[in-house]
Amino acid sequence: MNYFIFGRPRSRTAWTANFLTQHQSFCFHEGLSFYNGSVQSLKRAMPAIPKKYVGNADTGMIHYTQEIIDTFPDARFVVMTGASLSWNIFAQKHVGSEVYKAVEEAYADTKERLRHKALFVDVGDLTSDMETAQRLHDYCNPNSVDPWDLMRYNMLKDLNIQVRPDRLKERLGL
């Protein structure tokens, strides 16, 4: 089974990919960048991962939402919400208004397209509320025989992963 984590920059997609890569699950971070932004190439690559649940947590996917929905109709979708202050501060310092506007428009479109098809997770709750993290884990790994890994969650919950400004425009295809 496949799952996809959508969000803006600074929405903890790198953290989420790390968190979800355990036991029977593997989650790419920025999987589209491994395959030159090609959803079809990612579709061909995912079955080669020897895990029951394979996902991709990727801010660049907001520009490919409908193609991902069409290509993976049975997948599970997650939209990361919140982090707007962090993203706004980052955008003011590192990217221009054109990039900021393109990201915001694509993100709004993604939220609308996935309004009835996705689990929406607030970024702040993900690392401050264990139940939110467990709900995300269980949603992306349904019927998993692997138990909830509290030790892994506790190890990762305070981990802060930063965006590389020099790669942002490239990653977002802008």
**Residue among 24, 11, 3, 1 at smallest CA distance from 172:** 11
**What's residue 171's pLDDT?**
59
pLDDT of residue 127: 86
Q: Cα 11 to the chain's mean position, in Å?
A: 8
Confidence (pTM): 0.88
Radius of gyration of the chain measured on its C-alpha atoms: 15
What is the side-by-side order of every strand in the sheet holding 2-6?
Answer: 25-29, 53-57, 2-6, 76-81, 118-122
Task: Give the residues of the chain that fall short of pLDDT 50.
Answer: none
What is the pLDDT at residue 148?
80
Res 51: pLDDT: 95
Task: Report how far residue 8's alpha carbon sits from residue 63's, in angstroms, rounded to the nearest whole number.
Answer: 11
